[in-house]
Amino acid sequence: MLRRAAPSHLAFGSLQRRRIGYLADRVSSGEPAELEVWAWGRGTHGQVGHGSEDTEKLPVLISTLKLAAFTGMAPIQGRMPAKPRLGNVGVTCGLFHSVLFAEQDVFVWGKGDGGRLGIDTEFNQYKPYVNPRIKRVQMASAGGLHNIALTEVGNVYTWGYGAFGALGHGSYERELLPRLLEGPWKDRIVHVSAGGSHSAAVTESGELYTWGRDEGEGRLGHGNPDIMDEGALSRPTKVQALDVPIASVYCGGFFTMALTKSGQLWSWGGNANHELGHGTRANNWKPKVVAALEDVTLVQVACGGFHAAALTQDGKVITWGYGGNGQLGHGTLENGKEPAIVEAMADKTCTYIACGPAWTAAITENGDLYTWGKNRDYQLGIPGLKDEQLDPVLVQFPQALHEKTPVEVLGVSCGANHGVCIVSRPKPAQVTQSL
């Protein structure tokens, strides 16, 4: 049975904003739209994308996307596929780099060593830079030091640091450019994920393939040391222990989570901090249903370094695992042995969640963005907080407040110490005309 965390003594009110709604009406028809990219946090390697190494305590506008036809936010790792039409805009953060795609273009910025930007150099990029070697991406996932992307025609590309076989090409070499991945699957790939040093892909029929680092705790889900090369697999291998069709997968730091097509959660791998959600700390290579959520229909799961979050069909946020930075949002620094509802968000309907290594974010149906957890580098986008924020806090957008324009956050991704989100915001003139 799903556990409810103890209610927090702190209450956070939601900023009441009048939503314009003009964008939502256009999504299904794919009409032109103008979106904004905002970022915040530590900029040491250029990961904020504002042109310098400065730390940004509050979200700053770094780019504007002028789209010929916006069809919605694209699929993300760990989220049930959208129907009937896939979106064409997405953002994903690695530890210290970011990847954004919009219509046919892919933009990269941040730390470049290991080739993680995929632009044939290991230099850092301090502003969004178009990667000319890959186009028309349907889905992308930035891992710790590598990336995986799925194109509209179903091709899978990987690039970046290749240690432990994380790229899947049968070697441990880095790839400075996106390289087509030739896997053993016979079906079309529809979902991909990149973790700290392992990767996964899901076929249209629901088969799951994993590769990369395992190190004995079982994050790849194979349980057979004979097929490993010193604790790693350098080529995609089918997870035979999963006997149910999978819809989405999320590679965490040392563990893996997957949602079935009915919204049931399975987990496996490292479990030193209860990140598998089974109530114990025993590692488990074999995929297993998370019993506490067995009767709960989920639409999304997200994994941090040692914690996890899930989103229910009715918009409730659930977290468990390591809580030492406040990333569970339960008002304490204690670990969560089993999944529990984030009570501070229980009065809100959420539509989107994301996890960084030690922090968590959620978007409500009103387009409000909340963050909590580690804030040592201002990765929560809110100045004045302690290094560990134990409860969700509303993120403000100062430029939008100054211009008195409502902000609707459509998607967010969490890096180690930075965050990036996609925003819909009418121009000041549009607000004036509608008053």
Q: Based on C-alpha coordinates, what's the Rg of the chain?
A: 20
Q: What integer is the mean pLDDT of 63-85?
A: 90
Domain of 292? 3-434
For the whole model, what pTM was predicted? 0.93
Q: Is the pLDDT of residue 118 over 50?
A: yes
Mean pLDDT of the chain, nearest integer? 92
Q: How many structural domains are present in the chain? A: 1
Q: pLDDT confidence of 85, banded at 50, 70, 90?
A: low
Task: Check if the beta carbon of residue 91 is closer than 8 Å to that of residue 415.
Answer: no
Report pLDDT for 227.
85
CA 157/CA 71 separation, integer angstroms: 23
237-280 residue pLDDT tens:
999 999 999 999 999 999 999 999 999 999 999 999 999 999 99
Size (the chain), residues: 435
Which tokens hold the place of 201? 């892909």
168-189 residue pLDDT tens:
999 999 999 999 999 999 999 9
Taking alpha carbons only, the member of 198, 181, 203 closest to residue 143 is 198
Q: Is the pLDDT of residue 6 over 90?
A: no
23-50 residue pLDDT tens:
444 444 588 999 999 999 999 999 999 9
